[in-house]
Structure 1
Amino acid sequence: MLLPYGIIVVTSFWLKKYPSFIPDFQFGNYITLFTDPQYVLVILRTLKIAILVSIASFLLAYPFAYYLVFRCKSAALRAWLYMAVIAPLWVSYLLRAYIWKTILGTEGVLNSLLINVGIIDEPSSIFLYNQFSMVVTLTYIFIPFMVMPIYTALEKIPTNLVEASADLGMGPWRSFWHVTLPLSLPGVAAGFTLTFCLSFGDFIAPFLVGGPDGNLIANVIATQFGAALNWPLGSALSIVMLVIVLSIVSLSDRMERKGLTGGL
C-alpha cells in the first residue's frame, strides 16, 4: 500500500510539460489547487455532499437501528429488517446507482407518481442531474455503513441502564438523551466516518446522476489522469483528498481514545 502512495507523493511535485511531464520538486501543483477557484469549488462541493450524505444517512439509520434493538420484539422480523438494509451491498454498485437514475428521471417512478396525483402536469427534470440526486443516491448506497455500527453500538447497551434511569424518574426522552444516545456515540462516530469517507471518494454516482455541476474531487482526479494527462496535478489532488480523509479518520479515532464519545 505504501509504494503506490509513495509514487503519488513524488509525482505530485513533478512539473507538467506538454506533451508529458518531467521529474522536479516544486509546489506549483498544490498552489494551483488552492488558488484556482475551480479546484477550490470542487473540494468544497465534495465536502458539502459528503457531509449532507452523512447527515441524511444518520437521520435515517439511527431511528431504524433504535427500533430494531429496543422496539422490535420479533427476532425473525428484526433479522429480516436488518438483512433488508445489508442485502443491497450484495448487488452491483452500478445497478444501485442506475436504480435512482431511473426513479428520478423524467420517465421515472417519481415523475409518474406526481403526474398521477395531479401535482404536476408534465414530467419534470429537476429531480435528476443535480446535487439533490447525488445526495439521495449516495445516501441509498452508503446507508448500510451507517446502520451497521449504530446497530452494534445500541445492541451493546445494557438494558438495565435504561431501566435504572426509568427507576430514577427519567422519562423515555430523558433516558434516551442522557443514557442511550451518549453510549451509542461510538457507533455514530464510526458510521459518520465510514459514510463520509466513502461518499467523499465516490465518482461513479456523481457521473451518473450529478449532471454539469456534479463533478466531485474523484471525478476531477480521474480526468487529470485520463483525458487531461496531467498526472502531477492529479497526484497533488489525490494527496489533498487523502489528507482530508485521514484527518477525518484520525479525528474519529482520537475521540474514541479519549472517551469523548463513550464516556459522556
Structure 2
Amino acid sequence: MSDVTARPARGRGEAAQGYLLVAPPFLYALLLLAFPLGAILVFSFWTQDYLTLDRTFTLNNYREALTEPLYGELLLRSLMVSGAVTVATVVAAFPIAYYVSFHFAPPRKAMWLFLITIPFWTSYLIRVFLWKVILGFNGVVNTTLQGVGLIDEPLTFILYNVNAVVITLAHAFAPFAILPIFVALEKIDRSLLEASRDLGETRATTFLRVTLPLAMPGVIAAVLIVFIPTVGDYVTPRLVGGPDGLMIANMIQTQFLKLNNAPMGAALAVLAMGMVTAVALVFVFLNRRFLRGRG
C-alpha cells in the first residue's frame, strides 16, 4: 500500500521538477518574444497623429497597406530579394559543406568549421561597409576588371541596387547555410554510398539518389535560416541598396522613426511576418512530406 501511494507522490515530484526547469526559458520566451509580438499586433489596430495615439480599434492601417502600391512593391521586392539570397547562399554553401564532410579527415573538419566562422569575428556593419568598398565605382572589382582589360569603364550595376543587396546578404548568411547542411551530411551512413556504387551507380547518380535526398533536411533548415532573417534586414538595403534596393524593413523603420506612425509600421511588420510564416510553413510541409515519403 505504501508503494502505491509513493509512486504518485514521486510522479508529482518529478513533474514539479520538470515544470521548474521549463519555467525560466518559458518566461524568457514570453517576455522577449511573445510580449513584443503581441504589442506590435495591438499597435497595428490603432492610429497615430504625430505624437497623439488613438487606441480606437480600426483596420485602416491594413487597408492602406494592402491597397497602397508602394507597400505592395516593397513586400514583393523583399520576398524576391530574400528568395534570391536564399538560393544563392544555399547553392554556394552546399559544395563547401560537402567538401568538408567528405574530403577531410575527422580531426581536420573542426578546423575548417572554425575557419568558416571567421567572418563572425567582425561586426556585421563593418562587413557591409567592406562590400561597399569592394563593389564601389572605384572599388576592388571594378579596378581589377579594368586592370586586366576586361572592361573599359567601371560597372554600375553591382552597387546601390538589388544586386548589391543579394551579394552582401549571401556572404553574410553563408555560414548559417553551411553548418546545417554539414550536420545533415555528417549523419549520412557512408556504407549506403558504398552500397550504391557496388550496385552499379555512378558518383553522379549516387549523389542525386542517395546523398542529396538524405541531406535534404539540412538544406531545408538552411533555407529557413537564411530566408526568414533576410526579409527583415534593413541595414544592408540602406547602405548598399540605393533607392531601388530598399525593402519592407526600411519602410517599417521610416514609419516608426521618421513619420511617427507606429501603428502603420506595426501593420507592415505584421504583414511581413505573415508572409514569412506562410513561406516557412510551406517549406516545413514539403520537408515533412518528403521525409514521410522516404519513410
Compute the TM-score of the two structures, normalised by the length of structure 2: 0.84
1:130-189 CA-to-partner distances (Å, cap 9, x unmatched) read 111100000000011110100000010000011111111111111111111110000000
Corresponding position of 2:158 = 127
Please list every run of at least 4 consecutive aligned residues from structure 1 whose deviation after the TM superposition is greater than 6 angstroms: none
Corresponding position of 2:200 = 169
Cα separation, partners in 2 of 1:254 and 1:123, compared to 1, 3 Å: closer
Corresponding position of 1:212 = 243
Corresponding position of 1:193 = 224
Structure 2 letter corresponding to 1:142: F
Query: Is it true that 1:65 corresponds to 2:116 in the alignment?
Result: no
Corresponding position of 1:104 = 135
Structure 1 window deviating more from structure 2 (90-99 vs 227-236): it is 90-99
Distance 1:121 1:166 in 2: 50
Aligned with 2:61 (options 29, 45, 50): 29
Tell me if structure 2 keeps the 8 A contact 1:69–1:151.
yes
Cα displacement (A) at 1:205: 0.8
Corresponding position of 2:13 = none
Gaps of at least 5 residues in structure 1 are none
Query: Is it true that 1:260 corresponds to 2:290 in the alignment?
Result: yes
1:185-212 CA-to-partner distances (Å, cap 9, x unmatched) read 0000000000001211111111110001
Tell me if structure 1 keeps the 8 A contact 2:181–2:219.
yes
Tell me if structure 2 keeps the 8 A contact 1:149–1:188.
yes
Tell me if structure 2 keeps the 8 A contact 1:182–1:262.
no
Distance 1:21 1:207 in 2: 28
Aligned with 1:82 (options 113, 124, 131): 113
CA-atom RMSD in angstroms: 1.7
Gaps of at least 5 residues in structure 2 are 1-32
Structure 1 window deviating more from structure 2 (98-107 vs 116-125): it is 116-125
Aligned to 1:199, the other structure's residue is in SS state helix
Cα separation, partners in 2 of 1:183 and 1:74, compared to 1, 3 Å: closer
Distance 2:215 2:106 in 1: 22
How many pairs were matched up? 262
Corresponding position of 1:146 = 177
Bigger fraction of residues in helix: 2
Aligned to 2:48, the other structure's residue is in SS state strand
Cα separation, partners in 2 of 1:68 and 1:263, compared to 1, 3 Å: farther
Cα displacement (A) at 1:28: 1.0
Compute the TM-score of the two structures, normalised by the length of structure 1: 0.93
Structure 1 letter corresponding to 2:100: L
Structure 1 letter corresponding to 2:137: T
Distance 1:170 1:144 in 2: 32
Distance 2:84 2:155 in 1: 24
Query: Is it true that 1:94 corresponds to 2:146 in the alignment?
Result: no
Structure 1 letter corresponding to 2:233: D
Corresponding position of 1:40 = 72
Structure 1 letter corresponding to 2:273: L
